[in-house]
Amino acid sequence: MFKKVLITMACLSAGTATYANPVIRGTVASKCSVYTTTQGVYGNPSPDVLSTAAADGGVQPIVRFDVAIGDYYYGKITYPTAFTSSPSLTSSAVAWTGDVDVSQVTVPAMSAYTNDVVTYDNTYQYDLTEAGSTWFKVSSEATYGVNQAFPAGSYVATVVAECIAK
Amino acid sequence: MKKFLVIALAAFCGPAMAHEMSPTYVEFGPSYVDNVLKTDIEIFNRREDVNYYQIEVYDKDWKSISFVADTKIVNLKYLEKKTVDVYIKSNDKDRAVYVCTLSRFIKEDVTKTNVSSRICSKVK
């Protein structure tokens, strides 16, 4: 009797396994990720200049924005106008310049970001209308006073990359 | 050609570091305390150089709004994911527009020009 019950149960479970349809579910939600692809380095081409330009011995920081669905976020990048840490110096005597530009895209339509950028102060705001990845390169240059040399030491400045939901 | 490929792979497989936050749109709902609303956000730290993220709540003019969270500075190890509850007063429900997370550096760890990342979700 017990054997019969076992056989019936085994058949039933085997039948169930035969008809089971494994399902893989996934959802793509709107999401933004900010990647730091390259950390910047200041070159010191002359005593009074710190620059991220390759020609000046520097490295431009590169930031990547990934958006899962287009038209949900603004990407804002702000180049520095002050040192986060540095040797003691008269900050008002430092003149800052900078620029942000699209350096690489995964969707051709993203090339339009360069022309559609909104700039204010030292911030560049991009409307991330396309899904995918966009790389932005940031340049920064600090010039110290008139014919004044930057004191020896370590200089650090911060680029701010923001992803703001619309 | 082989050399070129190796160099290209090395260049593209570098340590990209990311800050992720979801959802894009948050909704404040009732909490277990009267006149206090709650939402939750999820932060994923894929930045090796960052272990702390600061939570912020802003109005439409980017003025800070007072809020309470389990902790306002969240300690997140590399590749760690955390869900954080954020509470605001019900009076501020119509004022709160953005809930953000901002990467924070420990001062002594900062040795070169770095990138600070902020992601903001919008309140529905």
The answer to whether B20 and A31 have CB atoms below 8 angstroms apart is yes
- CA-nearest of B26, B35, B55, B111 to A31 is B26
Residues of chain A whose pLDDT is less than 70? 1-20, 91-92
The β-bridge relationship of strands A49-51 and A43-46 is: antiparallel
Residue contact B17–A35, C-beta within 8 A: yes
Give yes or no for a contact between A59 and B11, defined as CB atoms under 8 angstroms apart. no
State yes or no: cis peptide before A108, omega within 30 of 0: no
Q: Residue ranges of the domains in chain A? A: 31-165
Task: Report how far residue A163's alpha carbon sits from residue B116's, in angstroms, rounded to the nearest whole number.
Answer: 11
Q: How far apart are CA A8 and CA A5, in angstroms?
A: 5
- Whether pLDDT at B4 is above 50: no
Judged by a CB distance cut-off of 8 A, whether residue A34 touches chain B is yes
pLDDT in tens, A119-155: 999 999 999 999 999 999 999 999 998 778 899 888 8
pLDDT tier, B25 (very low <50, low <70, confident <90, very high otherwise):
very high
B114 and A39 Cβ atoms separated by less than 8 Å: yes
Contact B120 A39 (CB under 8 A): no
**What CA–CA distance (Å, rounded) separates B94 from A66?**
30
Residue of A nearest to B22 (CA): A31
Domain limits, chain B: 16-123
B16-123 CATH, one of 3.30.470.20, 2.40.50.180, 3.90.1570.10, 2.60.40.10: 2.60.40.10
pLDDT at B9: 37
Find chain A residues with C-beta within 8 A of B14's C-beta.
37-38
Contact A61 B115 (CB under 8 A): yes
Report domain A31-165's class: mainly beta
